[in-house]
């Protein structure tokens, strides 16, 4: 892997980051506060106390949407509060490891993503957890696409023009990620390798900080989840050039996929809830039923549709198979791009 070029605190950009986070939180909460499915069962023994949901990234990014969705659905359907705890660090590995080693009683859960359960373990020799063996998959939440965006003032209106600009200026264009080993990092690394360009990685602590860096032209591109980009794209504050999904997104029908643009890479951004391995099957099934019930309600579907995401309710065994397949997909993609685990 290439040498990272970390930046310090972003200072005056914090206000923009907090504003983005507040807007996401307010919009989601307003749509989901109404009762979703049913109240808690009278004879239910779990949960008997508040549940902690660990988010292994800082606040303000796309994981905020999924975390608030999961917490509100569980609270509404099981009658117990859910406390969201942000534990960023090491590209998401720090918070993920903390849940892998937690008591498997169902009261400590992880907001897992493609970053922590797919991309990071594929590029890291020893992340401190195994995405399949260290966790009991509970429920898949959402699926969406990443969008390659650049500042409006950058002199590139298509992916081909961006590649030409990078080739004319080797080592002078920076790309932002939400952390080393994160899928925002690896999407860009696969793009770099397959486009044959020299661009410099600048890691941040969260998706919000990453987007703020693009907004300020502190970096020249990033691969960011559509859920926090749609308002910025519509306001022309960032310029979209391509998406990573397998097909064009209905919210951005004019934006081509990477495949259409000549870059052989497909990746989706997904989120889900997992518990420590050996969590009681009854607890896993209770949580799965609660979350899946909430995902099929019109209010949740409408909310996710507005941010470009889709609900993705599946069973725990299906989610386990999905995680294993995602891990293998990222290993294959990185090997094909000549990127070795570190």
Q: Enumerate the domain spans of the chain.
A: 11-36+49-143+269-336, 145-243
The DSSP letter of residue 103 is: -
Asked whether the domain spanning 145-243 has the same topology as the one spanning 11-36+49-143+269-336, the reply is: yes
Residue 19 confidence (pLDDT) above 90: no
Ramachandran angles phi, psi of 10, nearest 5°: -95, 5
What are the distances in angstroms from CA 250 to CA 63, 223, 255, 262? 21, 18, 10, 21
- The highest-level CATH class for domain 145-243 is alpha beta
Taking Cα atoms as reference points, which of 14, 26, 36, 24 lies closest to residue 301? 36
| Per-residue pLDDT at 189 | 94
| Per-residue pLDDT at 50 | 97
* Cα 142 from Cα 248, distance rounded (Å): 17
Per residue in 250-284, pLDDT (tens digit) is 999 999 999 999 999 999 999 999 999 999 999 99
Query: pTM higher than 0.85, yes or no?
Result: no
Residue 320 confidence (pLDDT) above 60: yes
Q: How many CA atoms lie within 13 A of 80 on its CB side?
A: 18
Q: How many CA atoms lie within 13 A of 203 on its CB side?
A: 20
> Do 109 and 51 meet the contact criterion of CB atoms below 8 Å apart?
yes
Residue 151 confidence (pLDDT) above 50: yes
What's the gap between Cα 35 and its chain centre?
A: 26
Domain 11-36+49-143+269-336 has CATH 3.40.190.150: yes
> Do 61 and 227 meet the contact criterion of CB atoms below 8 Å apart?
no
């Amino acid at each position: 892997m290439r040498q990272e070029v970390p930046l310090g605190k972003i200072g005056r950009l914090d206000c923009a980051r907090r504003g983005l986070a507040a807007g996401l939180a307010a919009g989601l909460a307003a749509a989901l506060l109404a009762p979703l499915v049913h109240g808690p069962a009278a004879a239910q023994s779990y949960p008997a106390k508040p549940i902690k949901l660990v988010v292994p990234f800082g606040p303000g990014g796309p994981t905020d949407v999924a975390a608030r969705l999961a917490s509100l659905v569980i609270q509404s359907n099981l009658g117990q509060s859910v406390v969201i705890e942000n534990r960023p660090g090491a590209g998401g590995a720090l918070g993920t490891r903390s849940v892998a080693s937690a008591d498997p009683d169902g009261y400590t859960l992880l907001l897992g993503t493609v970053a922590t359960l797919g991309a990071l373990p594929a590029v890291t020799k020893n992340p401190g957890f195994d995405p399949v063996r260290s966790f009991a998959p509970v429920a898949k939440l959402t699926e969406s696409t990443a969008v390659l965006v650049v500042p409006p003032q950058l002199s590139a209106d298509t992916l081909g023009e961006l590649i030409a600009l990078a080739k004319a200026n080797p080592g002078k264009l920076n790309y932002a990620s939400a952390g080393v080993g994160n899928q925002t990092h690896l999407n860009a690394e696969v793009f770099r390798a397959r486009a044959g360009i020299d661009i410099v990685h600048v890691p941040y602590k969260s998706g919000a900080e990453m987007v703020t860096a693009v907004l300020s032209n502190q970096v020249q591109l990033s691969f960011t989840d559509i859920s926090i980009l749609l308002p910025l794209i519509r306001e022309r504050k960032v310029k979209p050039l391509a998406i990573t999904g397998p097909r064009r997104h209905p919210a951005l029908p004019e934006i081509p996929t990477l495949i259409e643009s000549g870059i052989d890479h497909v990746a989706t951004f997904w989120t889900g809830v997992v518990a420590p391995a050996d969590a009681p099957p009854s607890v896993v099934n209770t949580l799965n039923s609660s979350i899946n019930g909430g995902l099929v309600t019109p209010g949740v579907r409408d909310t996710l549709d507005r941010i470009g995401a889709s609900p993705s309710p599946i069973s725990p065994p299906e989610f386990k198979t999905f995680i294993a397949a995602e891990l293998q997909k990222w290993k294959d993609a990185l090997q094909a791009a000549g990127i070795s685990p570190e």
